[in-house]
Amino acid sequence: MHYHRKILSIMGSPRKEGNTDLLLSRIMEGVKKAGGYGEIIYLIEKKIKDCDGCHACWKGNDCSKNDDMNEIYQKINESDVIIFGTPVYWYGPTALIKAFLDRFVYYNCPENRRKINGKSAIIVIPFEDDDISTVAPLVEMFEKSLKYLEIPLIEKLIVSGVSKKGDVLKFEGIMKKALIIGDKIVR
């Protein structure tokens, strides 16, 4: 049994207080109730430049992009679990989450890889369709990328049929599941 205490949630929807935000907030509520801690990072508030593959980070240097990711790398390094929250946007992630994930090239060299060794990930994905196949390409993107990074994907919270802000609150069972996930990852 693993005990995770520090949880970093990445809110990848540009819409605050929407379904992704509500789900992440509820998970964090569960985390805090169970004695864990952490925070939600709102990517919409951050400046995250595109990774252009300069690979300065593979030569023992800091990432060459001087932006908010410098601080977020530190937070990732200090966390036990990273929660990626994004709605489905055109069968994929939001541009915010994609730019964020692209910056994980930083962790794709032996020296930096050890900074994420032992961490786990969770994905949280709301979307509008009732057709579950809509979310498949995005789930696969995360599964393959996280596998490549050797970060086990320990939980998926996938919620179909939500469109407007707050729609997810109608699904009491889902909100309860979010709370339980938060509780479970810390205990």
C-beta nearest to ligand FMN: residue: 18
- Least distance in angstroms from the C-beta of 168 to ligand FMN: 7
DSSP H or E stretch at residue 182: helix 172-186
- 32 vs 30: CA distance, rounded Å: 5
Q: Which of 32, 128, 143, 179 binds ligand FMN (CB under 6 A)?
A: 128
Q: Is 89 in the site for ligand FMN (CB under 6 A)?
A: yes
Nearer to ligand FMN, 42 or 91 (CB): 91
Nearer to ligand FMN, 88 or 123 (CB): 88
Q: Candidates 29, 68, 102, 129: give the one binding ligand FMN (CB under 6 A).
A: 129
> Distance between CA atoms of 92 and 88, rounded to whole angstroms?
5
Q: How far is the CB of 122 from ligand FMN (least distance, A)?
A: 16
Among 83, 73, 68, smallest CA distance to 6 is for 83
Rg of the chain on CA atoms, in Å: 16
Write down the least CB distance from residue 44 to ligand FMN, Å: 10
For position 120 contacting ligand FMN by CB under 6 A, the verdict is no
d(CA 80, CA 2): 10
Q: Please state the closest distance from residue 23 (CB atom) to ligand FMN, in A.
A: 8
C-alpha 117/C-alpha 80 separation (Å) is 10
Q: Which residues, numbered 11-40, are part of the site for ligand FMN (CB under 6 A)?
A: 13, 15, 18-21
Using CB under 6 A, which of 163, 170, 176, 187 touches ligand FMN? 163
By the 8 A CB rule, do 97 and 86 touch?
Answer: yes
d(CA 150, CA 143): 10
Does 165 participate in binding ligand FMN (rule CB under 6 A)?
yes
Residue placing its CB nearer to ligand FMN in the complex, 51 or 162: 162
7 within 8 A of 185, measured Cβ to Cβ: yes
Structure tokens at 35: 């004695």
Residues that bind ligand FMN (CB under 6 A): 13, 15, 18-21, 87-91, 126-129, 134, 162-163, 165
